[in-house]
Structure 1
């Protein structure tokens, strides 16, 4: 058994069963080992940003890490944006990054680079295997380090990969359990919640589940606290049968207004909220001045256990709370715009779907429109770096092949990782891509105005840099060229028919929804 074979066997034995890959010469022995070791599904992606984004989506839904296979420092560099998103979302990933043979590094070949330096800002753990006998042990450590919500990057020199490993595979790792919240912290939270000062409980992190939402609603009802989610929790269960929880608005001014009057802020799985960007005359910190912020549990802590303890303290474990009742709006008719598209989505959204949201401005209405739709999971962009939606849909569909995935995608952000469509076709993934084609970087038009640059009004050169309609992009043709069936929707009726088709049929479908840009 060579080093690569022992590495893959260790990953599989430890529950890492999917590898999103874009290999090069240094990784050929890893690629060869895929045919020698049973149990690893290899998913080829045509760009490293798709590799890392797919691993993100997989981790969000499978609640365990996938592995990535990346080619040297440049390949890792191409993956950084979605590794950043995964890190901000506290999602587990095991990166395998090939490197030159140990004896070849001294010659500074063209692709030689500082892999450790590149990996550091987006990894919690970075290690390079020095010998074939070490690689399986190092792989097990990488899985252990990834744990619940970390990124582990293991560098695999080519000669370590191809040489014999006399030790074979390492013992399987045990799943990392969330850390219990200390009793004194829970006692302090009880004291805060017994106080009559205005208190907000804010929850976020990897997964606000249906059961967790009900617990939170019971706690809020028993204590009088107000309940919010952070702006972009990675994953949240929504729709009929779920608790009513509002989310903190994205715009800083609206978030400040939402938190106005709050004197105590208890955090579960999320950090204290700050403005996404700095704006003239707008505070960076969103809670009111003088508000006491209490971080009760981090994203890797046992949030459910903490909630159980708090519910017991208030004898609220069986508190009856209102849950969202199913409300499916009628299918829209007439012109197609952001609102009618959101209404169509809410009408056709199937039971237990997974919605990946990178629709940017055109999808703003989709979140409120679907609040009481059929029950579903909603995946948000936690790290803010665009180009996550299409690959995250790939990963989610591989993690949950029995569920329909609907990716809400903006036209500008789609072009960052458009290669995802090819992987959807190749793997026959059950994904509807609802692509909002407004031929604008509308979010940047909004931000241009909010920053006050040039008085908030772009000149001709600035306007040109925010306009992606010259030439117009034909996404239906792009999708079909990558093997994904596609339709164009110009009216609400067109979109209704396309969504009905996508829900009824298995496999990928792209809907090129021609919508006007929002006016700010």
Structure 2
């Protein structure tokens, strides 16, 4: 059982500073700005380059508002901040030590960039003034242009040279990261500037005067054209991608689909955005568009895309590039020439450079009410009923899903992450917080850190936080779970353990078939066996409850019941569920397309 119920904010309380000390340091003024910005947490792996700021967070602010969250790797720190935002809509900070910490954290920054998630990344460098550097270590931890390491996948970066400039840089970074399309930012603090003594405390800026702009209203003429096009459509389809997660915006999307009698497609990259059991929902959500979605696009006369990820690629896959398209997305504002995360250039007949939620609201107001026919059921799947595997047969991901659904009963659950082999028909999404989506950049190892951040944000919500992670993803980021154990974060992690980097087995099978070579060799260099990693033992070594390996449905039922009780008591638990390799059919078709 958990050791106590202190909670994250009650952990790591520092000894109070002696009264009467009026000395002020550069990092004190920077820490005060972070507090004024209402940053609740700062996830970090410690380093000497920001030892001044670290001291200020502890001894000036008392390790509160923001509260430090110690992570065992810089990548986990950024991933934690990423997951926290996905569950809460509130950005937090991550601190990375020098150039080496920034290189460690760069994969997680790229994930946040591709996922359009704001993370305030605070970095530091050894003294920019070479005369003030310590021998050796300060030299190798100082870079001429540290932000260049990540400049292609952050919205903005700065290296302020004074305390007032650092205050302004933090305000600018916050404003930019929270303006759509959102994304990570980087502020690099000179170690010497942090540690300089100030004659007096500079005033803390009025943070409210540096807020991001509100979402822009759509153009009235464009809105009228879109309303007319949608009103006249016989077979409209709505593709819902990166949209707001509030219950109000959820309800407005449902109302719009019903008003238009439009088929709705969602996917597993962006989380729960529409009820998957609704009669207008098409097929099951997947990482790639399913056959029913592609069929609906081929038959559509108008497509309304609400910041759908890879609209161009989806239309091409369906052979529907000639369909009339209303595109709603502000995403091109941050496209650059380094990364192709912007995907293919989609055609559009009407293009709103807006966030989707204001456009949905405006369309509801502009469209005639009450003239839609009753909703026609699309190819929406019934929640899959899974019969237990035959005795002695390997468990499958559907077995895992069925066991989890039985174990949670009527509890509200947030699925923080799902493995690539997941079939979207296995679990219905009925509310915005039922599922949080993927990591954006496909950076393996992000799952544990993001799970911890999301679970931290979900405390007190009444929802059971569950992350179902692939074994490769979990192994790469496993030490990220120590942070959950240390800060008493309730979280259930289930390892969907097929003992392979199975995604690459699928690719190797495709190549072997194309070249007429033995597909039986696809496992070589992919299998995570002999020895099998013991996730339960590793989890216990990090302070979690570890259960497994679990290899049968009966054992999984018992393991999940024990783990859920532990999580509901405030603990962190990991269950190692051994499953047979395999993907949902749509995923397999997408990965092997062109291999016949």
Task: Bin the TM-score by the shorter chain.
Answer: 0.7 to 0.9
What is the aligned counterpart of 1:427 among 487, 492, 495? Answer: 487
What is the aligned counterpart of 1:136 among 149, 155, 167? Answer: 167
Say whether the 8 Å CA contact 1:217–1:243 is kept in structure 2. no
Measured after TM superposition, the shift of residue 222 of structure 1 is: 2.2
Please report the RMSD computed on the Cα atoms of aligned residues, expressed in angstroms: 3.3
Segments of 5+ residues of structure 2 without an aligned counterpart are: 1-23, 332-352, 589-596
The answer to whether 1:342 aligns with 2:407 is no
Give the Cα–Cα distance (whole angstroms) in 2 for the partners of residues 184 and 352 of structure 1: 43
**Post-superposition CA distance 1:358-409 (Å, at most 9, x none):** 4222xx13x3222067984211113222222211111112222124210110
The answer to whether 1:28 aligns with 2:54 is no
Measured after TM superposition, the shift of residue 229 of structure 1 is: 2.1
Task: Say which SS state the counterpart of residue 393 (structure 1) adopts.
Answer: helix
Distance change (3 Å), C-alpha of 1:246 and 1:43 = farther
Measured after TM superposition, the shift of residue 124 of structure 1 is: 0.3
The answer to whether 1:95 aligns with 2:127 is no
Say whether the 8 Å CA contact 1:351–1:374 is kept in structure 2. no
Q: Which residue of 1 aligns with 2:185?
A: 152
Q: Which residue of 2 aligns with 1:279?
A: none
Distance change (3 Å), C-alpha of 1:301 and 1:18 = farther
Say whether the 8 Å CA contact 2:456–2:490 is kept in structure 1. no
Equivalent residue runs for 1:343-358 within 5 Å:
343-349=402-408, 351-358=411-418
Say whether the 8 Å CA contact 1:308–1:317 is kept in structure 2. no
What is the aligned counterpart of 1:508 among 562, 572, 585? Answer: 572
Give the Cα–Cα distance (whole angstroms) in 1 for the partners of residues 447 and 42 of structure 2: 19
Give the Cα–Cα distance (whole angstroms) in 2 for the partners of residues 137 and 287 of structure 1: 49
Give the Cα–Cα distance (whole angstroms) in 1 for the partners of residues 430 and 254 of structure 2: 19
Give the Cα–Cα distance (whole angstroms) in 2 for the partners of residues 458 and 440 of structure 1: 18
Distance change (3 Å), C-alpha of 1:410 and 1:84 = same
Say whether the 8 Å CA contact 2:285–2:425 is kept in structure 1. no
Task: Say which SS state the counterpart of residue 477 (structure 1) adopts.
Answer: helix
The answer to whether 1:498 aligns with 2:559 is yes
Equivalent residue runs for 1:3-402 within 5 Å:
3-35=26-58, 36-37=60-61, 38-104=64-130, 109-113=139-143, 114-148=145-179, 149-165=182-198, 166-173=201-208, 175-176=211-212, 177-196=214-233, 198-205=235-242, 207-234=244-271, 236=273, 244=281, 249-251=286-288, 254=291, 256-257=294-295, 259-273=297-311, 275=313, 286=318, 288-298=320-330, 301-316=354-369, 336-349=395-408, 351-361=411-421, 364-365=422-423, 367-371=424-428, 376-381=433-438, 382-402=440-460
Say whether the 8 Å CA contact 1:17–1:39 is kept in structure 2. yes
Give the Cα–Cα distance (whole angstroms) in 2 for the partners of residues 449 and 496 of structure 1: 34
* Bigger Rg over Cα: 2
Measured after TM superposition, the shift of residue 329 of structure 1 is: 6.5
Distance change (3 Å), C-alpha of 1:436 and 1:133 = same
Give the Cα–Cα distance (whole angstroms) in 2 for the partners of residues 96 and 452 of structure 1: 46
Say whether the 8 Å CA contact 1:502–1:509 is kept in structure 2. yes
Higher mean alpha-carbon deviation, 381-390 vs 407-416, is at: 381-390
Q: Which residue of 1 aligns with 2:16?
A: none
Measured after TM superposition, the shift of residue 426 of structure 1 is: 0.7
Measured after TM superposition, the shift of residue 502 of structure 1 is: 2.7
The answer to whether 1:415 aligns with 2:415 is no
The answer to whether 1:467 aligns with 2:505 is no
Q: What's the TM-score, normalizing by structure 1? A: 0.88
Distance change (3 Å), C-alpha of 1:48 and 1:256 = same
Measured after TM superposition, the shift of residue 111 of structure 1 is: 2.5
Say whether the 8 Å CA contact 1:241–1:375 is kept in structure 2. no
Say whether the 8 Å CA contact 1:449–1:456 is kept in structure 2. no
Segments of 5+ residues of structure 1 without an aligned counterpart are: 277-282
Give the Cα–Cα distance (whole angstroms) in 1 for the partners of residues 543 and 321 of structure 2: 54
Task: Say which SS state the counterpart of residue 509 (structure 1) adopts.
Answer: strand
Distance change (3 Å), C-alpha of 1:285 and 1:475 = same
